[in-house]
Every structure is written in C-alpha cells, then in structure tokens.
Structure 1
Amino acid sequence: MADDTTVRIKTEASEAAQIPTGWHGSLDLVYVHNDGTTKLIHNQVRSPLKVQRPFYPEGEAVCHSVVLHTAGGMVGGDRLSQTIHLKPDAQALITTAAASKVYRSNGQDARQTIKLQIEAGAYLEWLPQETIVFNGAIYQQDLRVELAPQASWLGWEITRFGRSARGETFLQGEWRSHTEVWQQGHPLWIDRQWLPAGEDIINSPHGLAGQPIVATLCWIGQPVSREILDTARILWNSKERQGEAGVTQLISGLVCRYRGASTLEVRNWFTDIWQLLRLSSVGRSVTKPRVWQM
C-alpha cells in the first residue's frame, strides 16, 4: 500500500513538473485600409507582450508598429502567441523594440506561435530584430502565413546562438523554427529548421560551420525576375563580406540565407534586398524603423 502511494506521488510530481509555467502572453492586432490610410483598429494584448502606438514615418499608407516584450526575454514554460490580420489593401511594417532573448531552460521549452493573415492587396513587412538563443535554451517558434491572392509578405528571421560577444557557444539545448506560407489551401513555402546544441553541429558544414548566426529572408507575393535575383546576389558580392550567403527563387518570390558572425552585416544585406523588392513591387523606398537606431 505504501509502495502504491509512493508511486502515485512520484507520478503526480512528474506530471506537475511537465506542466508549463511562466508567462502566457498574447497579441492580437487588426489593420484596415481606408481613404489611403492604414489604421490599427484592434489591439488586444496580454503581458508580457505590448505594442507601441502606431507610427507613420513614410506617410499614412504604411502603418509602423513596434512590439515589446516587457519581461525582457523568454524562459522555459513561457508561451507567447501573436495573431496579426491585415484587411484588404492594408500595408503594415512590424518590428520589435530590441533583440529577443531566450534564456537557459529550466527543463521546459519556451514556445512562440505566430499567425499572420494577409488579405487581397495587403502587404505585411515582418522585420523583427535578432533573437539571441542562450546556451541551454530550448525554444520553438511556429509561424504560419495565410496569404490571399494579390497579397504580399516579406519576413526575416535573424538568430544568434549563444552570447558570442562573451565567448558563449550553444553547447546545450535545442532550437526549432517552423515557417509555413499558404494560399487558398495550397503551400507556397514550408521551411523547417532544427538545431540541436553541441560541438558537432556547431562546427559541421551542415550546421553552423563555426559561425554563431543564421538568418533567412523570404519574400512571397509575386514572381521575381531574373534581374532581381541577380541584383540580390550582386548586393552581397559587391562588398567585402565575412559570412556566407545565397539567394534562391521561389514560385512566387525568393528566399535569402545567411550564415556568419555579424548581425549588422546580415541586416544591411537584408535591408538592401528589402529596398530592391520595395521599389520593384510598390515603387517606394524603404524607411527604416527608428527603433533600430536606438
């Protein structure tokens, strides 16, 4: 009888330890376009997520929004969800106030789910600042884009493994990033990345190849010309760079990859490509978010 009680107590303790604890934050935003202006008409948040008031540094057609994580970073057990909806013809740029941080795990994983719905004629630029994954972190991000015909999405993800400025490397933990773009029930692009920590994967040419940063930029909305693809490659090769990069054509867009050691290097290249795509698709130059300069 005592043995049964002991087993039951241990089982209950084990199950309790697996129940996620920590922040369960959420963000729900809706943008509409009316009379040449994009407005944020619905803004529902739950801590630690928050959004600043809208900015219009390039005119009323494009609404800039800055997302804040008021707790400073994610830990094991945290669950964050973001739902962004752009109504027809709305144009929005969303970034983050600072680099995101995923701290060493307490045994549980940290997870973020992002759902983006972009209706016909709308254009979303999803441009978060880098994510720093600390040694020992266990993190997964799932991002799904529902893209209507004649809608466009440009998104990037810049991830640094370990606090490399302090000499930290990603020797323990796990990172997963799942991105899917769908249109009317058909997949346009599915990208699943997994990086288990450890010396082997850090140094492998099929992993980090000794570099602390990987990054991806994806543009989907319309076919890109050979000229744009060539120009995107020239933008990389025209300057002395330390990292590695590649550009691949998609059915309705392109994807750019980076592996290296400099956030500034990859963001400058991505910004050049963003400018190229902005000019070719909407005929307007980019305006960098002010928060990037802080």
Structure 2
Amino acid sequence: MSAGDSGHRFDAGRRWEASLSLVFAARLSGAAEATRTRLIRARHHGPLRVQRPFYPEQRQIDLADPCHVYLLHPPGGLVSGDALKIGVNVEASAHAVLTTPAATKLYRADSYGVVWSQTNRLEVEDGGILEWLPQETIAFDGSRGEQRTEIALHGEARCLGWEIMALGRPASHLPFESGRIEQRFQLTRDGRPLWLERQPLDPVHPRFVGRWGQGEATVQATLWAAGLPDPGAAVTTVRAALPANPSWAVTQRHDVLLLRYLGGSRNEAWALCCAAWHALRPLLAGRAACEPRIWRT
C-alpha cells in the first residue's frame, strides 16, 4: 500500500491529514477613512473549514473593524492518526478574532496506540491584532497525541489567547487514567523567544498527582496576552477583576502576561478566562470585549 493511501489504513500506519490556511488584511470600507479586516484567503484540505466572516462590533473610525471567524472541524474531535494543521496570518493593522463553535474532543487511542496531532501556527504582522479564543478541549481517557501552538509576532503586533483543557469526564465517572498528551507553546517577537513551554500530561507520572505538579486537577487553563502597553499594570487590572480564588494566578514574564488556572471545573476556568479577557481587551485593542454569538448557543 502506498504512502498516499495511509489515510484509508486501519493499522499502525494510519494518518489522516487536514489543514486550513487563513490570511486577514485591513482594507478600506465604504465609509471614508474607515477600514475593515477582510478574510482575503482561506485554503483548506480535508475536514477543516470556516464559516463566513462576521462583523458584530461597532465601527470605530480610527481602528480596523475586527473580523470574527469560527473554525469548523465537522468530526468534532481527534482520533488516532488525525493530523490537523491550522495556519493564521494577520497582516499589518488587521484585527482577527477566532473561536470554535463547540468543545474539541480528544478521543481514546486505538489498539495500536497511534497518536493524533494538532499544530497551530499563528503569525501577526506589525500593528496587527489576533485574538485566539477556542472553546475548551476535552481529553478522553486513553487519548494519545500532541498539541503545538506557535505564535510569531512582528514589530508592534499584539495577541491574546487561551487554552482550556479538561482531562477525562468526571461527570460520567470516566477519569483520565491512561494515555499521554503533550502540549508545546512557543511565542516569539521578531524571532526572539518570549515564552517557551513544554507540558506532558501523563496520569501515571508522579507530577500528575503531586502537589508540586498537577495535583490531580482535572481542568487547567492558560491565558496569554502579548503587546500590552504596560503589562505590569495589566496584571493589577486582572487581579482586581477576578474573584479571590486559590485556583488561579497571574504574572508577567518579559512583555507577556500569563494567567494560569488549575482546578476541577470547566465552567470556573471558562468564566475566569472570559473575565480576564473582558478586563484586558480595552488595554490591548482599545475596544470593549464583544463575545462571539456562538458562545451563547
């Protein structure tokens, strides 16, 4: 069987690829001296799509209208052999807001233990803004794979995003007891590393249950913001906006603000990230938060 047929295999050699490439650019709109962010290119292979662009925010003459886009993966989750690649480029002065219509599910590996992978490569040019706001990811017991997020900022580019991970399905009495997921994050500005992180999630490793590590928490979240005019003041703003709770902490590293959550509630993690986003968006983008409508359906 040839390599090109690997997507139809059901043995240890299976591989099902899908990709999506998006480019956003600021373009003059009908109103004089007003600009709007346009999705000028959308190329896909396999089951990755986008819905049409949305413009739910009030126009501001001095700022490009943000373009809201929903990333669609019709299967709804990743299985053994899936290899998803998402590439996003936000050109100078453009502003894109990306989210997903539902949670992403990471299903149990097959009998061969074939892994899945998802790679997100996000690039923002000088003066551009990207908001990467996917709904949560749910890892089923026995899932095996790698998530990789690479963010390249240029000049005065700005970016805010989050990753919320729920391990297992406690409500169904199905905890995350086997498998292995590796998360990798890389954020650079003009090629200089600002934040590099590798996190293995392995339920049989002492880190997973130790108080010095995962502490048996079933939900974790990381929110990042880069390009804030005063990251130190933004940390104070976030702390004032969130309820006192030992499950979260916020700090600054270089010019990157990082909010961490470690606990047992997806709803709590989501609410904290949303509250932090509401507090940070006016500082990052000069606009009040405008929640995608899909979050309320």
TM-score, normalization by structure 1: 0.88
Residues 30, 40 of structure 1: 8 Å contact kept: yes
- Residue 83 of structure 2 corresponds to which residue in structure 1? 79
CA distance in 1, matches of 2:95, 2:292: 15
Task: Report if the CA contact (8 A) 1:170-1:202 is conserved.
Answer: no
Match of 2:101 in 1: 97
Deviates more, 1:193-202 or 1:102-111: 193-202
Asked if structure 1 preserves the Cα contact closer than 8 Å seen for 2:107 and 2:140, the reply is: yes
Structure number having the greater helix percentage: 1
Q: Which residue of 2 aligns with 1:155?
A: 161
> Could you list the per-position Cα deviations for residues 55-84 of structure 1 after superposition, in whole angstroms to 9, with x for gaps in the alignment?
111146100000111112111111000010
**RMSD between aligned alpha carbons?**
1.7
CA distance in 2, matches of 1:226, 1:87: 27
- Of residues 214-223 and 83-92 in structure 1, the stretch that sits farther from structure 2 once superposed is 214-223
Cα separation, partners in 2 of 1:225 and 1:48, compared to 1, 3 Å: closer
- Residue 75 of structure 2 aligns with an amino acid whose one-letter code is A
- Aligned partner (choices 20, 31, 40) of residue 27 of structure 1: 20
State the alpha-carbon separation in 2 of the partners of residues 161 and 28 from structure 1: 29
Q: Which has the larger radius of gyration?
A: 1
Where does structure 2 lack aligned partners over 5 or more consecutive residues?
A: 1-9, 29-34, 60-64
State the match for 1:270 in structure 2: 273
1:70 matches 2:69? no
Q: Could you say what secondary structure the match of 2:159 adopts?
A: strand
* Residue 223 (structure 1) shift: 4.9
One-letter code of the match for 1:248?
T
Percent identity (aligned) = 36
- Which position in structure 2 is the counterpart of 1:287? 290
Q: Tell me if 1:171 matches 2:177.
A: yes
Alignment of structure 1 residues 17-56 onto 2, 5 Å: 17-21=11-15, 23-35=16-28, 36-56=35-55
* Cα displacement (A) at 1:18: 3.9
Q: Does 1:128 align with 2:134?
A: yes
- 1:154 is matched by which residue type in structure 2? L
Residues 170 and 198 in structure 1, CA contact (< 8 A), matched pair in contact too: no
Kept in 2, the 8 Å contact 1:224–1:254? The answer is no
120-129 or 53-62: bigger deviation: 53-62
Q: Is the 8 A contact 1:79 1:110 kept in 2?
A: yes
Tell me by how many angstroms 1:165 deviates. 1.5
Looking at structure 2, the residues matched to 112 and 267 of structure 1 have their Cα atoms a distance apart, in angstroms, of 21
Task: Output the CA distance in 2 between the equivalents of 1:221 and 1:227.
Answer: 13
* 8 Å Cα contact 2:51-2:70 kept in structure 1: yes
How far is the alpha carbon of 1:266 from its aligned partner? 1.6
Is contact 2:194–2:256 with CA below 8 Å preserved after alignment?
A: no
Q: Give the AA of the match of 2:106.
A: V
CA distance in 1, matches of 2:234, 2:228: 12
8 Å CA contact 1:224–1:253 kept in 2: the answer is: no
* 1:213 counterpart = 2:219: yes
Q: Is the 8 A contact 1:195 1:207 kept in 2?
A: no
TM-score, structure 2 as length reference: 0.88
Superposed structure 1 runs of 4+ greater than 6 Å apart: none
